[in-house]
Chains A and B, each alone.
Chain A
Amino acid sequence: MSALEIVGLNKSFSGFRVINDVNLFVEVGERRLIIGPNGAGKTTLFNIITGEIQPDAGTILLNGQNITNIPVQKRSHLGLTRTYQIITLFPNDSLLKNISLSLLALSSLRWSPFVALDVRNDIKLQALEVLDQVGLKRLADRPLNQTSYGEQRRVEIAMALAQRPKIILLDEPFAGLSIEERTQIRELLVSIPEEVTIVMIDHDMEVALEFAEKITVMHFGEVVVEGSRAEVVEHPKTREIYLGE
C-alpha cells in the first residue's frame, strides 16, 4: 500500500488546465522530490492534496483511505501535514506558542474555553521537546517576529513534525536561505524518522537531489518524467525543460 496515491487528478482555473491527469504513487517512508519550472502546478498539486483546493476529477488516497472529499482540517488528523512556500506562522506569538498551536490542533483540549493554556504543562513540555529537535529550544520564549528567516523556516518544519505525521509535504523548504541555513535545514530533514514519508517541492537541485530517492518532474500541469536521480537527470525531457536542449 502506498503512503500517497493520486490517480487521474485534474484541475482547471477559468478553463485553463493547471493539473492535467496527474498520477503519483509515493511509498511509505519514501523521500520524493517534485521539481519543475514556475507554473508547473507543483504548489497547486500540494494544495489539492491538503484539501485547500478541490480537484475537478481524480482520487487521492492517503494510506489507502480515500481523502478526496474530506475537509482540509480533517486531513491533518489522518497524519497529513504541510509547510508553506511563503512562511505562514503567527509572528506576534512566541515560538513555544506556535508549536503549542500545532499540538493543540490534534487535541480535544482545543475546545476548552475555561482553562489557561499556559498551565497545561503537558503541551508545553511536548512543544519544548519539538523545539529541541529542531535546535530552537533556547529561543522558545522569543516572539517569532524577532527570529531570523532561517529560524522561521525551522519553526515551519517543527510545526509539521509536532503533529507526528505519517506524511509531510514540504513546499520549497530551502527557499530564500543562506548556504549555512540550507545545511541546517538539510540536516533537520535527514533527521526525520524513516517511517515518515516526505514529499518535497524545491528549486535548489543540488541540495534537493541529494536528499530525494525518487524524483517527479512536472511541466504545464503534467508529470513528464519520473524515476531515480540518475534517470531523471539524464532524461532528455528534463534537459529540454531545464536547459532548453
Chain B
Amino acid sequence: MRERCLIIVTLMSLVSLPLWMGSDYYINIASQILIWAIFALALNVLVGWSGLVSLGHAGLFGMACYTGAWLLEAGWGHFTAVLGAFAMTILVSAIFGALSLRTRGIGFIMITLAISQILWGIAYRWIGLTNGDNGIIISARPTPFGIEMDTPGVFYIFTLIVFLLTMLIMAIFYQSPFGVSLRGTRDQSRRMSALGFNVWLIRFFAILFSGFFSGVAGLLFLYYHQYVSPHVLSLLNSAEVLLMVISGGTGTLLGPVVGAGLVVVIKNVASAYIERWNMLLGVIFVAIVIFMPEGLVPGTQRLFRWVFSRIKSIGAAIKSEAS
C-alpha cells in the first residue's frame, strides 16, 4: 500500500513537473534526464542483467540519431525515419553481438569499444555522408496526433510517456522467463548450458533488446536537439552512460535512472556554478565507489535498513528498561 502511494505521488509529480518547475531551462534538464535514463536502462540490460560490460553503446545510440537524421534530410516522413532508425540500430546491434560475443570480460569491452570507435571515425571523417563535425540539423519535431512538440513542456510529456513505457517493459522483462534466463547466464553460464539453455543466443537477443532501447533514446536525443554530430558516437558518451549505470546500481531498475539524474544535473546545473565540474563528478564517483560500491540505489536501501534496525533495537531497549 505504502509502495503504491509512493508510485502514485512520484507519477503525479513527474506528470505535473512542467507546471511547478517554472523555468523552461529546468524542464529541458528533466527531458534530458529521461532520455539518458532510457539509454542507461538499455545498457543496464547488458551490464546488470547479462554481466556484459559494453564500452561502445554510444555506437548504437548514435546510429539511431544519424539514421533518423539522414532519412528526414532525404525528405522521408517521421514515421519512416523512426522505423528506419530502429531497423538500422537493430542491424548494428546484431553486428555488435555477432562480433563481441566471441569473447567475454575485457575482450568484450574492447570489441564493443573498437566497433563504436569505427562508427565514430566514419561519422567524423566521411564528410560527404555525415557532414563531419558540422553535423546534421533536422528542421522539425514530429507532431503525433497533431500535437506540436515545440515547447519544452509538451516535449517533456512526450519523453515522459516513452520513459514510463520503457520502465514498464523493462520491469516485465526483468521478471519474465527470458529475463530470469538472462540473469542465469550472468551468474552460471556453464550450468545454464548444461541445463539446456543456448547461452550465446540468449545473450545475442539481450544485445538486440538493449540496442532497440538505445535506439529509442537516440531518437529522442535527435528530436530534443534537432541536431546530430559525431560527438553522440564518442567514447565519452559510452563511458558516461556506463558511469550512470554503475553509480546508480547495476542490475536494478531505479539505479540507472538515478545515475542518469546525477550525471545530467552535475553536467548541466553544477557546471553553471563550478568551473571544474568534471572534478566534482569524479569526486562523487570516488565517494560512491568507496561508500556504496553496489551503487546509490542499493546502497541507500542498505543504509535505510541499517538505520531502521538501529531505531528498532534502541526502541526495544527503552521499552524493556521502562518495564
Contact = CB atoms under 8 A, between A and B. Distances in A.
A72 B177 CA distance: 21
**Which range contains the number of A residues in contact with the other chain?**
35 or more
A50 B177 CA distance: 24
Taking chain B's interface residues, is the majority helix, strand, or loop, or is none over half, making it mixed?
helix
Interface stretch (B33-41, B125-133, B180-188, B263-271): B180-188
A116 B188 contact: no
Contacts of A92: 187
Given A110-B177, A118-B175, A88 B196 contact: no
Interface string B180-217: 11001001101111111111000001000100000000
B188 A88 contact: yes
Interface string A110-145: 111111111010000000000000000000000000
Interface in B40-85: none
A105 B185 CA distance: 12
A90 interface: yes
Nearest to A72: B193
A129 B51 CA distance: 32
Contact of B177 (A76, A104, A159): A104
Nearest to A159: B195
A120 B176 CA distance: 10
A82 interface: yes
Nearest to B169: A114
Contacts of B191: 84, 88-90
Interface in A90-111: 90-92, 97, 100-102, 104-107, 109-111
Nearest to B190: A88
A92 to B, nearest CB: 8
Contacts of B190: 52, 88
B198 to A, nearest CB: 5
Given A110-B178, A113-B172, A117-B180, 5 more contacts: A73-B199, A88-B191, A114-B172, A115-B177, A117-B176
Lowest 9 A-B CB distances belong to which pairs?
Answer: A105-B196, A76-B196, A105-B195, A113-B178, A116-B175, A88-B191, A72-B193, A117-B177, A113-B176
29 contacts: A50-B194, A52-B194, A73-B193, A73-B194, A73-B196, A73-B197, A73-B198, A74-B196, A76-B194, A89-B188, A89-B191, A90-B187, A91-B187, A101-B192, A104-B180, A104-B181, A105-B196, A109-B177, A110-B177, A112-B176, A113-B173, A113-B176, A114-B169, A116-B172, A117-B175, A117-B176, A117-B180, A118-B175, A120-B177
